Chain A
Amino acid sequence: MSKKGFSYKKLHKKWSEIHRNQQEQLLKKHKDALTHLSNNSKQYAISAVGGLMLLTTPVNLQLESGNSKVQYEKVNKNLFLVADLEPLIPNDFREFTDSENQAISKKLSDFYGMDIKYEIDNKRLNTTYGYIGAEQHLMRYPGDTEATHFETPQEAEEFMSSGLAPGRGAWGYFAQSKDALTKDDIEREKYYIAVQTFLAPDYLNRVGEYRDFFKYRKMLLVNPHNGKAMVVVIGDSGPAKWTNKHLGGSPEVMRYLERYDGGQKGPVLFYFINDPENKIPLGPVE
């Protein structure tokens, strides 16, 4: 008798979500006891996962079969951040006050061990919290095309459908030729966001100052609903105010943070990383 086919991906996705929600509920409801255990157990300190690790069995959250990487440490650590951020983020969607920004940037600094700022040298963006939309890939050098853009066939398969923007980013090409393209240039394009630089306070009177400050400025981007975070650079300017979105993310950024455009759009936190010695690498924060 032939066996019946079924949708593995659909079932996997649904139950991953159910499980993730249950983990979040557990943490919210019993945070004090779980934190106490985390803070007072030698085993927990050694494992450095800060909480639920010993309470949960590993969960593979990858959707594709055959690509199973156990991710429980990361997921559980992220849940602690989600729970910590929840009381700091207002229920009504709005820009944060300075005191809210201070509290959130401190929380992110403590959690990630980075110097997170909402303002540096009296320069700041119009907001640190906003809806993110999907951007296209950017041309890295004159002549960069969809055929040359990706490093591996797997990357091409995953991200080519997002397309290549017809124009250059706000700072021009990342490199002047394919030969001049460096690893840093490749990563800047891969992990870029577009922010509304033109809406920064007093922008029109400080265009030059702001342009130099924003160009490839390193930022921490956090999805407050799942705790996923990525170190990115400001690689472009936008989106327009009328879009009702506050920033845009490269295809790689959107994929990692699990944020989507259109009706499913969601907010992210975005703060400057004070990294004068350029020690913090771009990409997902593990």
Chain B
Amino acid sequence: MKNKFYSHLLKIEPIHDKFSQIDIKEDEKESLLEILHSHIHVTVIDVILSELDEGKKKEFLHLVAVREDHSGAWDFVVTNIEQGEEKVKAAIEQIVKEFLSDLEADL
């Protein structure tokens, strides 16, 4: 998985642990993780953009999508969004929690 500006908040070890306990093919596991990572990414972007005005949104998108400046993007989040880190962290944790819950429900 490519490094992201929020990678330091990404804790998905419980999901890897759960995968190790179930009968799942390697390509299936990769496919599910791909969706999970992509979903987290889109959600994090949404959480951040929802806190910004139009001008700041464009500024942030430029940092992430054009310059791919992860460090700059994270600085931007904590500087421009009140409790930005907490909001991003909470969004990621909620997704991981729901994914784990679905994984367990399907066992």
Contact = CB atoms under 8 A, between A and B. Distances in A.
A associates with B: yes
Interface of A: 2-8, 10-12, 14-16, 18-19, 22-23, 25-26, 29-30, 32-34, 36-37, 41, 43-44, 54-60, 62, 65-66, 68, 72
B28 A26 contact: no
B70 interface: no
Nearest to B49: A30
Interface of B is mostly: helix
Contact of A34 (B2, B24, B61): B61
Interface residues of B, number: 38
Contacts of A10: 106
Given A44-B65, A68-B31, 9 more contacts: A8-B24, A19-B42, A22-B46, A30-B49, A43-B65, A54-B66, A55-B42, A58-B34, A72-B38
Contacts of A30: 46, 49-50, 57
Contacts of A68: 27, 30-31
A65 B58 contact: no
A65 B31 contact: yes
B99 A54 contact: no
B42 A54 contact: no
B85 to A, nearest CB: 20
B38 A5 contact: no
Contact of A6 (B27, B42, B65, B106): B106
A131 B13 CA distance: 45
B7 interface: no
B22 A4 contact: yes
Nearest to B102: A11
Interface in B35-59: 35-39, 41-43, 45-46, 49-50, 54, 57-58
B25 interface: yes
A59 B35 contact: yes
The A interface is mostly helix, strand or loop, or mixed, namely helix
Contacts of A36: 58
A41 B42 contact: no
Contact of A37 (B2, B62, B99): B62
B103 interface: yes
Contacts of A66: 25, 27
Given A15-B99, A32-B54, A56 B42 contact: yes
17 contacts: A2-B23, A3-B21, A3-B22, A6-B106, A11-B102, A12-B28, A12-B35, A19-B39, A22-B43, A32-B54, A37-B58, A41-B62, A54-B66, A56-B38, A65-B27, A65-B31, A66-B25
Contact of A57 (B2, B46, B62): B2
B40 to A, nearest CB: 9
Given A3-B21, A6-B23, A6-B103, A15 B41 contact: no
B61 A33 contact: yes
B12 interface: no
B67 to A, nearest CB: 10
A36 B64 CA distance: 14
B49 A6 contact: no
B22 to A, nearest CB: 5
B31 A57 contact: no
A57 B65 contact: no
B10 interface: no
A22 B27 contact: no
A6 B38 contact: no
